[in-house]
């Protein structure tokens, strides 16, 4: 099989060929290495690439080996917020520029156990904070569809690698849209799963830290489902375990008769650049053509309360986990101002403020449950802006409204993040300037399978990620 054909395959299709011994892991690795050499320089999605000769030797050793799992022999780049044994992990921070972990984090260990060859890392913003992937160590990751634009973040390297055919699947993490936003910016899929389905490592606080989760990214929804099954599963060392649902048997259920609520800009609370809402309405028409019933919804909860709860709890967690970055002069000098701001905001909080934020969060969960008694899913834009210039730190205003924090411009992701709902970012195609956009399909807590089924029907009808960026296509066909 030609290298170009291997690179265009879904992970599901590639895995089937490897398991049937119709394609050897060494062939896959050779194709991947050639694509990385041809394409990565332009977008800077992959960092800390392992030695190609060692990777080829490792792949050849797998050619005749019994498959270890679904990812057997498939090269994988792991997000640079995940520790990988023997492979530099920096968190995008100069504080850890030369850090080489002795052991894998749980996520990397699960990928290895499934047979993946961990070959590189994907670029991130410093400490994963801010939805634009740049840092002082590796520089900026650029959008595959327009190199002058951002690929989003914090999983920007992962999203760009998928679009550039340098990954079949990729792990992302999502606190404030960190895998949904780059998925939308780069014309791929990203699923923020129900919180707790993909467990955290047993480090630091594991009881209060319930805002962030890891999740899968891919160019097909089936690949998302299968990769989520690799990442999910109980970690007995952390609380709040969740049973892994059956994500595959109902994947082709379709959307006929499904009730979907359209939340748009939350009654004007979330400013949107021109064309964003119209792009989402085009995506909703696809679902209507497939038999879904779409209804416009009034805001189900005050946006300003959601934001207050969000920034309070986020700042509390950042201050608790990153306090040393602000208190130790040497580390402080190497830390970006947005991270220091988070720590300072959290350090000044009172117990009463944190309690108020938690009560708001609880009220919103209760109200959302009532909403999902009427709807199978609700939809919001994935981002409030189109991919912005790569030389910006973050958008200073949206549709004429000044942004008062470095992350206010992506406030639209907060409703799902705050209460841990499953949220699938699906591509919407391309706007007038040729830039990608996405929309979130959000389900009730625990209904990851239902969200994926809606996404699968949408993917069958659109297949937007199969529109390869010209730069990637040129590398593939070299």
Give the H or E element holding residue 192. strand 189-192
Q: Which two tokens stand for residue 308?
A: 């207050």
Active-site residue (options: 178, 309, 417, 425): 178
Q: Which two tokens stand for residue 236?
A: 């007995």
120, 86 contact by CB (below 8 A) = no
47, 171 contact by CB (below 8 A) = no
CA distances from 166 to 13, 86, 179, 186 (A): 16, 21, 17, 13
Q: At what angle do helices 303-327 and 351-372 cross, to 10 degrees?
A: 140
Is 154 a catalytic site residue? yes
Active-site residue (options: 15, 93, 154, 212): 154
Per DSSP, the three-state class of 118 is strand
152/147 Cα distance (integer angstroms): 12
315/339 Cα distance (integer angstroms): 10
Q: Between β-strands 134-135 and 139-140, what pairing exists: parallel, antiparallel or unpaired? A: antiparallel
454/463 Cα distance (integer angstroms): 14
27/101 Cα distance (integer angstroms): 29
Based on the number of CB atoms within 10 Å of its own CB, is 227 exposed (0-12), middle (13-18) or buried (19 or more)?
Answer: buried
User: Which residues have C-beta within 8 Å of that of residue 285, sequence separation ≥ 6?
Assistant: none
Active-site residue (options: 3, 26, 79, 131): 79
Is 331 a catalytic site residue? no
Q: Could you tell me which residues are beta bridge partners of residue 173?
A: 214
Is 79 a catalytic site residue? yes
261/281 Cα distance (integer angstroms): 12
Which residues does the annotation mark as catalytic? 79, 154, 178
């Amino acid at each position: 099989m030609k290298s170009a054909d291997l690179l265009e395959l879904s992970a599901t299709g590639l895995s089937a060929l490897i398991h049937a011994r119709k394609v050897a892991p060494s062939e896959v690795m050779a194709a991947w290495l050639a694509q990385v050499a041809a394409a990565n320089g332009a977008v800077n999605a992959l960092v800390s690439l392992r030695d190609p000769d060692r990777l080829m030797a490792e792949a050849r050793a797998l050619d005749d080996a019994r498959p270890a799992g679904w990812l057997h022999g498939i090269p994988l780049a792991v997000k640079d917020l995940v520790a990988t044994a023997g492979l530099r992990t920096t968190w995008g921070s100069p504080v850890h520029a030369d850090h080489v972990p002795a052991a894998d984090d749980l996520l990397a260990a699960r990928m290895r156990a499934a047979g993946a060859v961990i070959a590189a890392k994907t670029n991130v913003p410093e400490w994963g904070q801010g939805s634009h992937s740049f840092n002082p160590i590796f520089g900026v990751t650029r959008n595959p569809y327009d190199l002058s634009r951002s690929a989003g973040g914090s999983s920007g390297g992962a999203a760009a690698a998928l679009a550039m055919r340098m990954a079949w699947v990729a792990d992302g993490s999502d606190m404030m849209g960190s895998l949904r936003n780059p998925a939308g910016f780069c014309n791929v899929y990203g699923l923020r799963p129900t919180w707790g389905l993909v467990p955290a490592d047993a480090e630091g606080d594991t009881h209060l830290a319930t805002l962030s989760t890891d999740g899968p990214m891919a160019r097909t929804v089936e690949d998302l489902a299968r990769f989520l099954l690799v990442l999910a599963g109980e970690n007995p060392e952390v609380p709040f375990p969740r049973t892994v649902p059956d994500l595959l048997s109902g994947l082709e259920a379709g959307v006929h008769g499904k009730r979907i609520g359209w939340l748009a800009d939350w009654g004007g609370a979330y400013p949107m650049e021109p064309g964003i809402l119209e792009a989402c309405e085009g995506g909703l028409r696809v679902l209507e053509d497939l038999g879904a019933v779409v209804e416009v919804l009034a805001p189900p909860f005050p946006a300003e309360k959601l934001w207050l709860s969000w920034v309070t709890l986020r700042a509390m967690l950042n201050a608790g986990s990153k306090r040393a970055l602000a208190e130790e002069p040497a580390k402080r000098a190497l830390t970006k101002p947005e991270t220091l701001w988070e720590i300072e905001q959290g350090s000044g909080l009172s117990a009463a403020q944190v309690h108020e934020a938690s009560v708001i969060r609880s009220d919103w969960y209760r109200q959302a449950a009532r909403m999902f008694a009427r709807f199978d899913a609700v939809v919001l834009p994935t981002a409030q802006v189109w991919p912005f210039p790569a030389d910006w730190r973050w958008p200073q205003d949206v549709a004429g409204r000044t942004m008062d924090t470095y992350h206010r411009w992506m406030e639209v992701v907060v409703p799902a993040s705050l209460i841990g709902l499953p949220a699938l970012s699906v591509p919407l195609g391309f706007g007038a300037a040729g830039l990608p956009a996405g929309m979130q399909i959000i389900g009730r807590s625990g209904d990851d399978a239902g969200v994926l089924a809606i996404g699968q029907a949408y993917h069958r009808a659109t297949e937007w990620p199969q529109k390869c960026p010209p730069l990637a296509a040129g590398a593939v066909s070299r």
